[in-house]
Structures are given as structure tokens and as C-alpha cells.
Chain A
Amino acid sequence: MEEVDVEPAVTNIPAASDEKHLGFAWGPGDILVYETLYKASGAKGSGCSFIHEVRKDEDIYSPILRKLFNESHHIFVGLQTIREDLPSKNKKPQFVSISKNYRSVIRACMEELQQVAVSTKDSQMATQYGNQVSILLAIELIWNLCEVLFIDAAPAGSLLLHLLDWVRLHKADVDEKAREVLQSESPAEHHDYWDVLWLNLREFLLLEYASGLLLITSHTGSEEQQTGLALSGTSGPDAAFATLISERFLQDYCARGTFSDLDLIDNLGPAMLLSDRLTFLGKYREFHKLYGEKRFREAAKLLLSLMTAKIAPRSFWMTLLTDALPLLEQKEVIFSADQTYELMFCLEELTSSLNTTPGPDRPMQEEDIELTKVELLRLALARNLAMAIVKEGTVET
């Protein structure tokens, strides 16, 4: 048995006098209560001729809600009879249409309730209707989300589209509330403050999840286009979103050493300009392509520019420098002397910033690896510098 969290509501029966006891009997939706005087022994007091009927004032059987119950029941029963022998991929469109059916029923009920709430003169009823509308709104919101995520379960590209749509659809609500809160004198004390904080957090979490999905699932050509489309639908939150996605990609690369979903990044197109992070991603990918095509000079130049033009985030510099290693180790000199100086400068900048934050709780191994990397780089850079100076100093004959 669950513990009851709240105090039970007390209902006074005005007609019953204070001195008497109350007897009761349960009814199908109500309680019948009568006055009595219970005595352990001896004659009972004079009986009262009244029976009071007590029931909840929330009438869930209002005509409008009845329609909701009946129609959704009908849909439910229809759902049960879907043929079992169809393979599940054929059932999906059916399920989606049933889900949409449910949602439209909820919306229709909401609209009717809203109409009645507005037109009724009884303020208590209006509040009650208003509450019911809010509940249904929340239900429909959540249902919509579940439909997008679980029932429709589109491949990641179009899923993002749907999620973005969902966010946009319900953004208006959030924005309005946010504006209200911010405009008030002390936002932290606004009664909707916490609501807004949650609502925003909710969206953020949702976007996190979506981008994670994007990375995990596999892609086909058409899906990138869709995602590209999604990314190219520029507006404030989308830029942030785009940054988020690119961060993920980069982290992924650091962890795994290769890019997943190369095609996606390749086909970013104008979406690249959405955010710096995305631009970097695109350029970085270009670097890899150049490298793959053995256009080392161009690749090297690009790599350097990523750091010097500050396109690359600082956190990624180590990776970039590590990428430069094979270029430094080639027999042929790829980086010019000047370029090597610049690389060295970058490395020093990086290591100095790293040194200023010693991490006592960093494991010894990690520190060792980092140190080794730096040493290797320094060595490679020095060697390359030597070779470059020699080459540049040599007169071609």
C-alpha cells in the first residue's frame, strides 16, 4: 500500500449537526451519509430523517470529456484488432496514423473545452475547464513527443527534423512564459520561474539526445540532405544546436580516431557557416580529404591556418598538432620554416596553458602520454625546421 503523501481533504456536511456521529455507506460514485448517535449500550438517540449524498464535484462525466473517453476507447479497441501477421515494418504507418488519431481527438476535446471555458459565466466552472484544458495540452505535448521518438522513430536525419518541429511548435509557449518571467521585477520569485527553467532545460536535453542519436545511427545519402536542411534552417537556437552537433563529432573523432558519418560533414554546404564550430568541422574534414588525396602542402597549410586563424577550438589543438606529425615525418619537407615556427609557437602556447593547470587527480598514465606527445612533437618540429632551413637555404641548381 502506498503511503498517502497528502492530508486527505475534509468535507464538512453542513446540514449535519455537530453533536452527532455520522454513519456512511459507499455508493457507486458517491457516499451516503446519515446522522446517528452511536452508543455502546442503551437506546440510541432519535434518528435523523436525512440522508446526505456526498460526491466529488469534479464531474469527469461532463459531456465533452465523455466524447474523449468514448472516441479514444474506440481507437484503442481498433488498435487491438490490428492483424498480428503483418511484419512490424508494415504496421508502423498504421501505428503512426492511430497515434495521430488519438492526438486529434485530444485536441478536439481541448478546443471544445476552451470554447466552453471562455463562454461560461460561472468563474469556478471556467477555472475547472481551464485546468482540464491544461492537462490535455500537457498530454498532447508529451504524446506528440513520444510519437516522434518512439512510434514514428524516423532515422536520425528526419528525426531531427521532427524534433525541431516539435520544439518550434511548443517554443511559442515557452518563449511567452520566459518573457513574462524575465520582465517581472524579480524573476527568481516569479511563480513561473521554475517552470520556465525546466522547460528550457527540457529543450536542451532533448537536443542533446537528438544529436547523440544522430551520431549513433547510420546514414544514407538522403538523410544527410535532410539533416543538412535541418541545419540550414537558420535561427538562433539552431546555431547553438549546430555547435552542439559539431562538438559531438569532434569528441567522437578524438575518441575514435576516425570520423563517423563523413558524408554528412562533407555535404554540409552552406550550413557550415552556421557556427564557427561547424566551420571548423568542415575545414578539418577538408584537411583530411586533402591528406587522403596526398595534396600534403595544401593540407599542411590548411591545418596551420585552422590554428592560427583561431578557427579551431583550443581543446582541439593537440589533436591538430598530432595530425601534423606524419606531415613532419615525411622525407620531403612539407611545412616551410616559417610554418614550422608557427607550429612551434602554437605548441608552446598550448603547453604553457596546460602547465598552468596541473591536475593532481589526473592519472599518471595520462600525464605521461601527454608529455610524450609533446616531446615527440618538439622533436619532429625541430627536425623539420632543420630540414626546412637547409632546403630553403639551398640554391636550386
Chain B
Amino acid sequence: MESINAKYVSQKISKTRWKPVSYSTLQQPDVFATGSWDNENNKISFWSIGNHGSSGMDDGFEGDPQLLCEHKHDGDVLDLQFLDQDRIVTASSTGAVTIFRHHQNSQTISVSKHWARAHRYPCDNAPCTGVVCSSPEIVTVGEDGRIIVFRADQEGVTRVIENADSSTIHAVTYLRTTEILTVNSIGQLKLWDFRQQSNSPSQILSLSGDRVPLHCVDRHPNQQHIVATGGQDGMLCVWDVRQGNTPFSLMEAHSAEMWEVHFHPTNPDHLFTCSEDGSLLHWEMSSHSDVPSFLQGGRNNSMMSRSAMAPAGGNQSLISAWLSGDSSKGRLETTHMLPSQTLSVNSLDVLGQCLVCGTDGEAIFVNRQTSQEFNATSNEPARHNKDILSENHVLVAEKDRGNVVCRQNRTSVEGGGSYIRCSMQM
């Protein structure tokens, strides 16, 4: 059973993130943070959905996000990450990087650290566009094309990679503990190895053809060489950073810019994307021999299979199936997670059974799978089209009257021998 709550919050939400939960306790996420943009006075806020009934949800009904506390934020919140249970790091349009501490007892927020003008041009501020952290290390990227490394416990900057990019770096993610991946506005993925002293990337990958700005990137939780990106054209690309410099598969996901892409952290068969076109898509990879196990058609699709806690090995085989041309057949299903179209969905985060997203319509949607009963053997016929993919055929998922349809597409061959090799072998 699924429940979706919409909460109108009188601010355009630019970023939203779940507070991390300890996996060992199997707790469901309870608190999330949001950042706003396009306001005269922007702010960051902490909300609770009262999963454990601990926050005194007398007024709201179950699942309705309740505001815990908020704090003003200078500039648009362009990125937001949890450093640990109590602290978040924000990237601001003023170029500043700030650590805020959430005091849970008093429900107040204080500024723990502030690096003003971390990203800048010689005579002006440059927005800090992305932040990623692995406590106590914080890495930020900005419009000035710099990559900066901080430590949460130190005042100054640990390392700066000047001129990392001549264009705007839009997003950053960790590939390994010492490697990061950035995406920029000329459609390139760049790998940076911090063990090296040089200020140049160890690898550059890009889509040949049009140089479409890439807005977001996320790495597969278990397979560190698999990375998904999304860009201005709404295409979802899945890359294998070990091989070649072209994406392994390309899917038309959205009709406008894709703002964020996330693998589910513990069940990476599930991928989520959100876009300027007002939709949030849930992509579900499934592999089956005879009976479709994850096949649940229609809009109210279950988000998670029972194998949410399945051993990583099981998941691994699926993704490998993506890439290695395994003979086992698989299907890709996509469903809309939001009940109807909204203004731009700027941000999403998924953890456990819960999904949260924020929109330009000044609304926060929280989607929870409350029931554990996901019928793994459901034979319910899918209500949208699916195609079993064969070798060398491109899988194109496109929006068709509100459903995502997977169909075959012709491979396009660009002149001069370089072509977009889009194949999804399953």
C-alpha cells in the first residue's frame, strides 16, 4: 500500500535530503531537510514525518511532514547534503559553503562553519553548484570550474583544483573514497583521483554528438563503475566508467531537463529521476526466468520489492545483466510517482521505503510504502507497454500520455565512424 502526502510550504524547494538512518536497525527514515530558492529570504528547514510516532504528531495525520525548525540561508540553496546525523552542508548561489547543525533537543539550528565566497570569480561571486561529503571530508564544485576540498573540523580549505573545468561544473559524486566524478555543462564526465597531485582529471567521458549539459550524476551503490547521469535534454544515461567513453545505454526519460537521478541505496534495481517537466519517474529493473516477479502494473506501483534487503550479490547479477549481455531476459518498468503533473520537480531523495521530493509549485511530496506485502509472484498484467529487449536494439523509454513506454528504436549512426552505441543487453 502506498501513501503520498503533498504539503504546501510557501517556498520553492530546490533540494531535499533524508537524514541518514542506521541500516543495522532497519529503521525507516523520519527526518528530512529542505532548502529553498528564488525567495527574497531563502531558508533551510528540517521536517519530520513521524515514522515512530515520537514527534507528537497530534495535528497532522500520519505521514504529513511537520516542520521541526528552520534557519535563514543566504542565497539559493543549490545543493544540500547530510554530513552526519546532526549536520548538513549547503552550497549557495553566493558561492558560500556552510555547515549547519541541527540541535535535536531544542529543535534549533545554528551555523557551525561558513566559508564565504569559496567559489568565486576574480571580481564576483560564483555559485557553488554541488556538494558531496564523506565525513569529515567535503567536496564542492561551482560555476567557476573549481573543485574545493574542505574538512569539517578545519577552518581553511584543504585542497583546491583550479581550472578543473572551463565550463560550469553542475554536480559531483564520490566514485571511491579517493575518487570523485564531476559532470559539466558541456556534457563531460570527469574522474578525479585525489591521490594524484596533478590538477587534471584521470579520465574524461562524454557523449559524442551534441554537447548537452549534464545536471546530475549518481553512482550505483554496489557497482562502483556504473554511473547514471541526466541532463538538459532529459535523457537518462548509464555509463560504465571502465569501458570506453560513451554511455552504455541511453533512454529518453523526460521531456525537459532532468534535475536529479538517484539509485536506491539498498535496492539499486530501482532508479529515480525527476525533471523540469513536473514528473518523477521510478525505473525498475527486473530479471526473471519465468514469472515476472516485480511486475506490478499501473501508476500505483510498489516502490520496493521484498528483496529490499536482498544480498548485494543478487542485485549485482541484474546490473551485470545490463552490461554484460547475459542471456537472462529482463524488463524495465517505469512508473510515475506523483499523482499528477506539477511544476518542476527540482529534487528527490529515496531511502528505505520512503521517497521525498520538492517542487517549484512550493510543495513537498512524501511517498511511503507502508505495507510489506509486495506480492513477489504477482501475475497482474502490466498496464503499460514493455518490450523484451534483444541484443543490439536500443531501449527507448518515452513518455506517452502519462505512461512511460519502452519500445525499440533505430540506432542512429553519426557520420565519421563515431556513433552512439546504445545497446542494452539483458
Residue ranges of A at the interface with B (Cβ–Cβ < 8 Å): 63-64, 66-67, 70-71, 73-74, 77-78, 81
Contact = CB atoms under 8 A, between A and B. Distances in A.
A77 B8 contact: no
Contact of A67 (B10, B340, B341, B342): B10
Contacts of B8: 66-67, 70-71
A66 B341 contact: no
A64 B10 contact: yes
Given A66-B362, A70-B361, A70-B363, A77 B341 contact: yes
Given A63-B10, A64-B10, A70 B340 contact: no
Contacts of B342: 74, 77
A348 B248 CA distance: 105
B362 A81 contact: no
21 contacts: A63-B10, A64-B10, A66-B8, A66-B10, A66-B362, A67-B9, A67-B362, A70-B8, A70-B10, A70-B362, A70-B363, A71-B8, A71-B363, A74-B340, A74-B342, A77-B340, A77-B341, A77-B342, A78-B340, A81-B340, A81-B341
Interface residues of B, number: 9
Nearest to A64: B10
B363 A74 contact: yes
B340 to A, nearest CB: 4
A67 B362 CA distance: 8
Nearest to A70: B362
- Across the A-B interface, give the 10 residue pairs with the lowest CB-CB distance, nearest first: A63-B10, A67-B8, A66-B10, A78-B340, A70-B362, A71-B8, A70-B361, A70-B8, A67-B10, A74-B361
Contacts of A77: 340-342
A70 B344 CA distance: 13
A73 B361 CA distance: 8
Contacts of B363: 70-71, 74
B269 to A, nearest CB: 30
A71 B7 CA distance: 9
A78 B340 CA distance: 6
A81 B8 CA distance: 21
Nearest to A63: B10
B113 to A, nearest CB: 29
Most buried by B among A63, A71, A74, A77: A74
Nearest to B7: A67
Most buried by B among A70, A73, A78: A70
Interface in B339-388: 340-342, 361-363
A16 to B, nearest CB: 25
A69 to B, nearest CB: 9
Interface in B197-247: none
B343 to A, nearest CB: 8
Contacts of A64: 10
A197 to B, nearest CB: 39
Contacts of A78: 340-341
A66 B361 CA distance: 10
Contacts of A74: 340, 342, 361, 363
A350 B361 CA distance: 73
Contacts of B10: 63-64, 66-67, 70
B86 to A, nearest CB: 27
